[in-house]
Amino acid sequence: MSLKKAFRAGFVRRWHTNPDLAHIEDRVDGHSGRVARIILMLHPEPTVKLLRACLIHDDGESVVGDMCSVAKRKYPALAALLSEIEAQEIRKIWGGFYMTTHEAMWLKFADRLDAFMWAKHHAPQQMDGDDWTERLEWLKFEATRLNVRYKFDSQMNPK
């Protein structure tokens, strides 16, 4: 484990392959902090383990970069390989992290919610295309499964 590697892992740039968002600066450390904040806002009783996972879940990208979701969907074998490499790198930096299935569901939900909110904030004109409508439907479905749909709706559509 290395303090320098942990520190530098947060500097990876996100969205560099998205033409609508590539001009905006978003780093892994900012994203990870927002994911933890989403958990704190929506989860009824977040564990320290889940919050730790939020803060380090993308640190493996310090070796492979932030591969765009389009490529991951189009090439699942590549996505699986990158996922394994990222997990290895996280273990090198942090010794790894292990979550329950329920915690993993929460992390994925908060991770995708941050991406959705970031895109909506920085490129609102693009939200009707590029699968953003489908992503919102997925978020609603997951919010229902996690039993936080009311909180989700009230935060996404404040009156």
The string of pLDDT tens digits covering residues 17-67 is 888 888 999 999 999 999 999 999 999 999 999 999 999 999 999 998 888
pTM of the model: 0.92
Mean pLDDT of 91-119: 94
pLDDT of amino acid 127: 84
Q: Is the confidence at residue 159, as pLDDT, over 80?
A: no
Give, for 9, the enclosing helix (H) or strand (E). Answer: helix 3-9
Annotated domain spans of the chain: 3-156
Half-sphere exposure of 71 toward its Cβ, with a 13 Å CA cutoff? Answer: 14
The pLDDT of residue 98 is 85
Provide mean pLDDT across the span 80-92. Answer: 93
Q: Can you tell me the distance from the alpha carbon of 143 to that of 149, in angstroms, rounded to the nearest whole number?
A: 5
**Structure-token match 């997951």, residue found:** 142
In CATH, which superfamily holds the domain spanning 3-156? Answer: Hypothetical protein af1432 (1.10.3210.10)
